[in-house]
Amino acid sequence: MVIVIFGVLVLLAGTVLLMWYIFKPQSFNTTEQTQTGNNVENVLEEEQSGQTQEEQTPVTENEEKDTAEKVCGQTDFFISESAGDYESNAALVCVGERLLDDCLRASVTFDTTALQGVRMSVLGLRQDECLVQLTYPSVDSISDLALKDYANSYIRCSYNKNDLAALNYQPARLAAYVYEQNTFDNLSENSACEGTAFTLWQERDSRTQENVGSAFISGVDTDGDGLSDVEENTVFASSADTADTDNDNYSDGTEVLNLYNPAGNGLLQDSGLVGVYDNSVYGYSLLYPKNWRMEDEANSNNVIFFSGVGGFIQVITQDNEKNLSLSEWYTDLNASVAEVKNSTKVTLNGFEFLYSPDGLTAYIVDPKNLSNIYVVTYSPEQSNRLDFMATFTMFINSMTMAQQ
């Protein structure tokens, strides 16, 4: 009997131990899983909380300014008395600082002797290339005859930001440098530029090369300023090795075409480098190189100016008995009407003129008095080297009538 009772007790104890063994680990795992689940939920809550906080972080005022275009104002720096004192010009400093600060967007408007209101815009970075655009004003705001065709057009050029930084320029000097590089005086076929103004410039350059043709050779222009070395040495007293002899931020060629002295201050007429020829019979006057020999014969109908170093410029007056417009008169020379309409130009003094196909003869008329056509021709003589193209243009641009 005792043995039976003891056996029952052992069986009961074994059963209890077995139940504990089975259910005790399960209780532990449940706790661990609960803790793990709570940890995951906490991490997710923290991540979600972090994302929400980041998304709700307001944009600072400085960040807003950096993404918007900064308008730096308007300046006449290139024609003001302070030209050359870059850092005193707030507008240039403003644009230059943006250029140096990863090409942040900015704009400035320039007034020059040739252009009123040409806008330079820094457009931002494109793969480490800083984009800068010049937008030309309307034709009424352009006084330079050669630039009037560019009215309302634009040119956009790219500059490597590291190359700009390597120049080590102060902000204002850098802004002026970038502006000058975007102008036509400093362009080449290899320029990293695009836009309507650049396309027009390319077309003009191509036509110039076609007009010169294989029969003529362009004069040597060492410094690329638009004046041949011969012109700089024999006519305008400027440097053949320096594009801007008087350091006024205008190339020597640009100054001559606009009748300014490339070697100093003031107008060409007051420089002592040129003389004024007055034709009392036909009532016109023009500038010519002072050291050139002039022959005024045939009752002032045919005047010739000899350079003495190969080449002359001739001015012939032709009657326009029917008072035809220049287009009508020129069409009578068997030119097409479309050709005439597209090629009529205006001088600095308001005269209309056309170039011959080779670009070496200009037909000029005073639109207020159609009685005469003035034919100005440049002949390089036997050399066929075109050393006086800028001088030829000076003759054309400087022509005025007595009543003016």
Q: What is the pLDDT of residue 12?
A: 61
Sign (positive/negative) of CA torsion 16, 19, 24, 27?
Answer: negative
Q: What is the pLDDT of residue 344?
A: 72
pLDDT tens-place string over residues 178-211: 998 888 877 777 788 888 888 878 766 655 555 5
Q: In Å, how far are 44, 61, 245, 272, 347 from 258, measured between CA atoms?
A: 73, 46, 16, 16, 10
Token pair, residue 303, equals 């005047």
Sign (positive/negative) of CA torsion 285, 258, 201, 185?
Answer: positive
Q: What is the pLDDT of residue 205?
A: 64
What residue spans define the domains of the chain? 63-202, 213-404
Q: 183-187: long-range contacts (C-beta < 8 A, 24 or more apart)? A: 183/134, 184/147, 185/225, 185/226, 185/243, 185/251, 185/253, 185/254
Count CB neighbours of 249 within 10 A: 16
Q: What is the percent of the chain with per-residue pLDDT over 70, rounded to a whole number? A: 75
φ, ψ for residue 392 (rounded to 5)?
-60, -45
What type of residue sits at position 76? Answer: D
- pLDDT band for position 265 (cuts 50, 70, 90): very high
Enumerate residues 6+ apart whose C-beta is below 8 A from 22. Answer: none
Distance CA 186, CA 111 (A): 19
- Identify the residue with better confidence: 180 or 36: 180
- Hey, which CATH number is domain 213-404, 3.40.1000.10, 3.40.50.11440, 2.30.130.10, 3.30.420.40? 3.40.1000.10
Enumerate residues 6+ apart whose C-beta is below 8 A from 260. Answer: 113, 250, 266, 267, 268
Question: What is the helix, strand, coil percentage profile of the chain, to 5?
Answer: 40, 25, 35
Burial class (CB within 10 angstroms; exposed 0-12, middle 13-18, buried 19+) of 117:
middle
When mean pLDDT is compared across 2-6, 48-52, 172-176, the lowest value belongs to 48-52
Please report the DSSP string for 216-258 in residue order.
-EEPP-TT-SSS-HHHHHHTS---SS-SSTT-SSS-HHHHHHT
- Asked whether the predicted pLDDT for residue 351 surpasses 80, the reply is yes
Q: Mean pLDDT highest for which of 2-6, 77-81, 138-142?
A: 138-142
Distance CA 192, CA 205 (A): 16
Q: What is the pLDDT of residue 195?
A: 85
Burial class (CB within 10 angstroms; exposed 0-12, middle 13-18, buried 19+) of 138:
exposed
Question: What mean pLDDT, rounded, does the chain reach?
Answer: 80
Residue at token pair 């070496």: 360
- Asked whether the predicted pLDDT for residue 157 surpasses 60, the reply is yes
Count CB neighbours of 116 within 10 A: 17
Enumerate residues 6+ apart whose C-beta is below 8 A from 315. Answer: 286, 302, 303, 304, 305, 374, 375, 376, 395
pLDDT tens-place string over residues 51-96: 333 333 333 343 444 679 999 999 987 776 555 677 788 999 999 9
- Identify the residue with better confidence: 392 or 35: 392
Whether pTM > 0.85 for this model: the answer is no
Distance CA 294, CA 277 (A): 9
Tell me which residue of 251, 294, 262, 257 sits closest to 275, measured CA to CA: 294
- Asked whether the predicted pLDDT for residue 365 surpasses 90, the reply is yes
When mean pLDDT is compared across 2-11, 23-32, 80-89, 103-112, the lowest value belongs to 23-32
